[in-house]
C-alpha cells in the first residue's frame, strides 16, 4: 500500500473547506494524513477545527515580517519541514510571492469561488450577479504566481436562481465547494491526477478541460 498523501492546509477564515477535507478522510474517501494547518490569522476558525481533529497548527503573523517575501519564505519553509507533499489553500486570503512558492509548482491547490478564468480575486458572487451570468460555480486549480491564474483542474457549476443575492449565491455554492475540493484531493491521493511536464494530467493523459462535479459528487471528464 502506498502511504497516505501528506497534506498541509492553509486557511485564513472559518475553515468549512478544511472541515470538508477532514470529514472526507473520516469517511474513508480520502487517503490522506493532515500534517499541518497553518494560518495568517490567530482567530481563524480553521485552527480550532484542526486542533479538534488532532492536527498540528501553526500561526504566523504577517506583521512580524519585513515584507511579503520574508513571510512567504518562512511559511513555505515551515511547510516543507512539515513533510507535506501537497498544500491546499482553503480560503487563504493572501497573495503569494512567486519565488517562495516556486518549489511547490504542481504540488499546491487552491479553491476559488468562481468559474475561472472568470472573476479572479474578490467579490466573485457579486460580480457574477452584476454580469447577469446564468451560471456560477467554483474552481480548483493548481497554484502559480499569478493570482487565481494556474491551470484549472475541476469545477462545480451552479445555475443562478431568481432571487439570488450575493449572500444567497455564496451560501448555495458552498456545499458544492465542500464536495469539489475533497474529490480533487482524493484523485491526487489516488495518483490519478498529477502534475507532469508543467501541467495537469488525468488518468495518464494531459487533462484537456476541467473535470466537472457530477450530481453524485464524482468528478467526470
Ligand atoms: C471559500 O468560498 C473558498 O472558495 C474561498 O474562500 C472561502 C473559504 O471558506 N477561497 P472556508 O474558510 O473554507 O469556510
Q: Is 53 found in the same domain as 26? A: yes
Our answer on whether the CB atom of 90 is closer than 6 Å to any ligand 1 atom is yes
Catalytic residue among 112, 125, 141, 178: 112
pTM recorded for the entire structure? 0.97
- Per-residue pLDDT band for 199 (boundaries 50, 70, 90) equals very high
The answer to whether residue 159 scores a pLDDT higher than 80 is yes
Count the neighbouring beta carbons within 10 Å of the beta carbon of residue 26. Answer: 10
Provide the domain count of the chain: 2
Domain end among 55, 75, 104: 104
Our answer on whether the CB atom of 188 is closer than 6 Å to any ligand 1 atom is no
Residue 216 is among the residues annotated as catalytic for this protein = no
pLDDT digits (tens, 9 = 90+) for 45-69: 999 999 999 999 999 999 999 999 9
Domain that holds residue 93: 1-104
Query: Which residue, among 22, 53, 37, has the nearest Cα to 181 in the 3D structure?
Result: 22
pLDDT digits (tens, 9 = 90+) for 87-141: 999 999 999 999 999 999 999 999 999 999 999 999 999 999 999 999 999 999 9
Contact 55, 36 (CB under 8 A): yes
Instruction: Report the side by side order of strands in the sheet with 205-206.
Output: 193-196, 199-202, 205-206
CA 18 / ligand 1 centre spacing (Å): 9
Q: Is 89 found in the same domain as 42? A: yes
Structure confidence at residue 3 (pLDDT): 86
Amino acid at each position: 500500500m502506498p502511504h497516505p498523501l501528506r497534506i498541509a492546509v492553509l486557511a485564513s477564515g472559518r475553515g468549512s473547506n478544511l472541515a470538508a477535507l477532514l470529514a472526507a478522510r473520516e469517511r474513508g474517501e480520502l487517503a490522506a494524513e493532515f500534517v499541518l494547518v497553518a494560518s495568517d490569522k490567530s482567530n481563524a476558525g480553521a485552527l480550532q477545527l484542526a486542533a479538534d481533529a488532532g492536527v498540528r497548527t501553526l500561526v504566523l503573523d504577517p506583521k512580524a515580517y519585513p515584507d511579503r517575501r520574508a513571510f512567504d519564505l518562512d511559511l513555505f519553509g515551515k511547510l516543507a519541514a512539515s513533510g507535506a507533499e501537497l498544500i491546499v489553500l482553503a480560503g487563504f486570503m493572501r497573495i503569494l510571492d512567486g519565488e517562495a512558492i516556486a518549489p511547490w509548482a504542481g504540488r499546491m491547490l487552491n479553491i476559488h469561488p468562481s468559474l475561472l478564468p472568470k472573476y479572479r480575486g474578490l467579490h466573485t458572487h457579486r460580480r457574477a450577479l452584476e454580469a447577469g451570468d446564468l451560471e456560477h460555480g467554483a474552481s480548483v486549480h493548481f497554484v502559480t504566481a499569478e493570482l487565481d491564474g494556474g491551470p484549472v483542474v475541476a469545477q462545480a457549476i451552479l445555475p443562478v436562481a431568481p432571487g439570488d443575492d450575493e449572500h444567497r449565491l455564496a451560501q448555495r455554492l458552498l456545499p458544492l465547494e465542500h464536495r469539489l475540493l475533497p474529490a480533487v484531493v482524493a484523485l491526487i491521493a489516488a495518483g490519478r491526477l498529477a502534475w507532469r511536464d508543467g501541467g495537469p494530467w488525468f488518468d495518464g493523459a494531459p487533462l484537456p478541460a476541467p473535470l466537472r462535479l457530477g450530481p453524485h459528487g464524482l468528478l467526470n471528464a
